[in-house]
Amino acid sequence: METDGPGLIFTILSFLLALTILVFVHEWGHYIVARFFKVRVEVFSIGFGREIYGWTAKSGTRWKISLLPLGGYVRFFGDADAASKGAANLDSTLSAEERAVCFHFKPVGQRAAIVAAGPLINFLFAILIYFGLFMSYGQPVQPPIVAGLAPDMPAQAAGLQEGDRILSVAGHKIEDVRDLVRTVSLYPKMAVDITFQRHGQRMDSRVTLAEDLQVDRFGNEYRRGLLGVQLDAPTEIRTVGPIEAFGDSVSETLTMARMMLTATGQVIMGIRSLDDLGGPVKIAKVTGEQASLGWLAFIEFVALISINLGLVNLFPIPMLDGGHLLFHLFEAIKGSPVNARIQEMGYMVGFALIIGLMLFLTLNDLQSL
């Protein structure tokens, strides 16, 4: 049943809370590894623009909250801007002591580690969230055993029968019902390979999945793949220890990352509509909706956004961490930094791409709302 969504103020506050947590985690990853390599950090900012509150630590870092809360940055000694582009004429203006603490004079491996630490700690943060949830609530387990078949649906066409255990779909291992639902949902109206087990014998089939338009309690529509099986095996809550919980947390994070990359790839290849991409307005809306369902749903959603933030920042686009890593890779191969003019052009193109995409997604979000 469709219900009214949370209020505007609640949605904005929930979104800002989630964004602030994730931006802090991401930038802290850059910060802590930079400090490990003895790089001087001049600014740690949550948000952009004019400072509204801040303080200077004994290390000399200015910690601050800025006016525009849509992101954040860490500025290292020697940076010309928040994108960590090196200031002009660093070679001739810095002393030996200053070079020792300047990001741009550190070995390329250390600079790459500092850049990669932001996205990687987003993945680690999601792993820690899942670890806490699994340790606190256990793991729900429901075996993917077919209990019935819907008539004239893909499962029937694939030759599935009652009692079959589904082992994989589209090459992805299926261990429980949750894996099955997640994987099938990614491939509406697409042909997939299905492997299942019948009386101890492995069998393979290929079938085109159906499409199901689902509407959640807030009226959001989702286009998902549909196999057409009934799965009535009882769900058990399995208690896990720390080692197993950590392994499950890593697996859950990798599964979510795989699903996000698969969906993004489908959009790029034109298989999925651009409408399936969400911009800041849509993310804020869903954040408020999840927060209205309780703190547990909110925390799980924060884990998903943290994984998404880590993935997006690893895309090889200048201005993003992935773009910086690409330049560092070229430098490591070439033995010298990429030409400053090429880097400048890359940053300009990257900035234009990011701004253009954000504008498109925002307009798309507003139109869908």
Per-residue burial over 158-189, b = 16 or more CB atoms within 10 Å of its CB, e = otherwise: bebeeebebbbbbebebebbbbbbbbbbbbbe
Phi-psi region at 223: left, alpha or beta (left = phi > 0; alpha = psi -120 to 50)? beta
Instruction: Report the alpha-carbon distance of residue 129 to residue 237 in Å, rounded.
Output: 18
HEC profile of 92-149: HHCCHHHHHCCHHHCCHHHHHHHHHHHHHHHHHHHHHHHHHHHHHHCEEECCCECCEE
Q: How far is CA 314 from its chain centroid? A: 10
H helix intervals, the chain: 8-36, 90-93, 96-100, 108-137, 154-157, 177-185, 242-268, 280-292, 295-313, 321-334, 340-368
User: Between helices 242-268 and 108-137, what is the axis angle to 10°?
Assistant: 120
Please check whether residue 209 is in contact with residue 190, taking contact to mean a CB–CB distance below 8 angstroms: yes
Active site residue 27: yes
SS3 assignment, position 75? strand
HSE-up of residue 245 (Cα within 13 Å, Cβ side): 19
- For residue 80, give Cα distances in angstroms to 277, 348, 362: 33, 15, 29
Other Cβ atoms less than 10 A from the Cβ of 229: the count is 25
* The pair of three-digit structure tokens given for residue 200, joined into one six-digit string: 């101890």
Other Cβ atoms less than 10 A from the Cβ of 280: the count is 14
Phi-psi region at 330: left, alpha or beta (left = phi > 0; alpha = psi -120 to 50)? alpha
Please check whether residue 136 is in contact with residue 129, taking contact to mean a CB–CB distance below 8 angstroms: no
Instruction: Report the alpha-carbon distance of residue 284 to residue 290 in Å, rounded.
Output: 10
Out of 2, 27, 221, 236, the active site residue is 27
* The pair of three-digit structure tokens given for residue 151, joined into one six-digit string: 């008539």
Catalytic residue set: 27
